Each structure stands twice: as C-alpha cells, then as structure tokens.
Amino acid sequence: MAAIDIAPNFGAELKDGFKPVNAWVSGGIAWLDDIQQFYRERSAIEKEYSQKLSALAKKYFEKKAKKSSILSVGETPTVAPGSLESASMTTWSVQLTTLESRATEHDRFSGQLITSLAEPLKNLAARYEDLQKHHADYAKKLEAEKDTSYADLKKTKGRYDSVCQEVENRRKKIDSSFDHGKSKAQTAYAQQQSDMRNMKNTYLITINVTNKQKERYYHEYVPDLLDVRLHLLNTPPR
C-alpha cells in the first residue's frame, strides 16, 4: 500500500513557540534582502563590464578605420586591390564585432539580474514582512486576550476571598454578640453566606472560562497561526 503523504502539523508540536518562530522568520526575511542586494551588486558589475567592453570595441574600431587601408594595401598601392581590407583586417573586424556582441549580452544579463531576481526578491521580502506584521499583531491580540482572562480570574478570586473573609467576620460577630443582637447578626451572616455562594459560582465560571481560553490559546489559536505562517513561507512564490 502506498504511503499517504500527510503535511506535518508544526503548530501542534510547537504550541506556544510563536516568538522563537517569529524571530527565525525575521532572520529569513533579512536573508532575502542580502540575496537581492547581492544580485544588484552583481548587476552593477555586469553593467560596468559591458560598458568597458563596448568602449574597448569602439576604441579599436576607430583605430582600425584609420589604419585598415594602409595595413591592407599600403600607402601607395601599385596594383588595384580586389578589396581595400585584407583577410587579417576582416578577421580583426569579426573579433571586434564579437566583443560588441559580448558587451550587449552582459548589458542584457545585467538588466535580467534586476528584473528577474533582485526586484522579485525585494517584493517577496516586502510581502513576507507585511504578513509577519499581521501575524505578530494577531499573536499579540491573542496573548492580550489570554492575559486579560488571567487578570479577570485573579480579580474574581480576590473578590471571592474577600467575601469568604467577610463571612468569617460575620460568624465571629454572632459568637461575640449578646442575645438581643444575635438575631440581627445571624441575618447578616445568612445574607453574607448567600453572597459568598453567588461569588463562588461566579469564581467557578471564571475558572472554567479561563481554562477554556488557555486550552484554546495553546492548542488551537497559536498552533493554527503557526501552521498558516509556516505554510505561507514554504509555498513557492508565483
């Protein structure tokens, strides 16, 4: 039976590893900038080389034009030549023309390095930087929501502890009150117990909400974000 190719679930393995992954991605984006800068510098060298080859060809074409006739048939030919240019000069013209063609090739290659490599890499890096910003902002939003949930739980626990302490205070008042004040103290104690039970229910609900938020943050939200991020980076640009 053929093996089934299943894409790895990076997020499930990394869980809350967004920050180190984000740092790794930043390094990769910076590397793209290094590569496109390399091709720009290479392009400049090719351009300069093309210009020097072209200038060299032009210089020697001009020299050839001045000396071709003399070198081919001499200053005062005694017989009418079939051609004013000797075979050597013709061969030399081919060499210079070839040099001009080579200069044109290097000039064309210089432009291709920019249009086919440097600019696409620059645009790719810009696209990844934009995605990185959106992902980082979303990760901060998720973390802020998690921290807010934790903070709400802490506040609720504080209120619950305070209500429990007040119940204990009311109980002590019953023990220390005289007979004529016990009824009032017991009524206050019963009311405080009711408040404590309500607060306890609120506290338990907040615990459940926070635990659910924590579970989804570490096992759903951040892993899904990591999967999307790593998938985009591993998808060849179009």
* DSSP assigned state of 131: H
Query: Angle at Cα 197 formed by Cα 192 and Cα 202, nearest 5°?
Result: 120
Pick from 105, 123, 114: nearest CA to 49: 105
List b or e across 197-211, with b for residues whose CB sees 16 or more CB atoms inside 10 angstroms.
eebeeebeebeeebe
Could you state, in order of their start, the residue ranges of all structural domains in the chain? 15-72+84-234
pTM metric for this prediction = 0.66
Q: What is residue 195's predicted lDDT score, i.e. its pLDDT?
A: 85
3-state secondary structure of 158: helix
Please, what CATH class does the domain formed by 15-72+84-234 belong to?
mainly alpha
Give me the residues of the chain with pLDDT under 70, please: 1-16, 68-86, 174-182, 232-238
Could you tell me the CA-to-CA distances from 28 to 32, 34, 86, 138, 234 in Å, in that order?
A: 6, 10, 60, 20, 12
pLDDT at 65: 76
pLDDT at 114: 97
**SS3 at position 218:** helix
Which residues touch 49 (CB under 8 Å, ≥6 apart)? 106
First to last CA, the chain: 34
What is the reported pLDDT for 14? 58
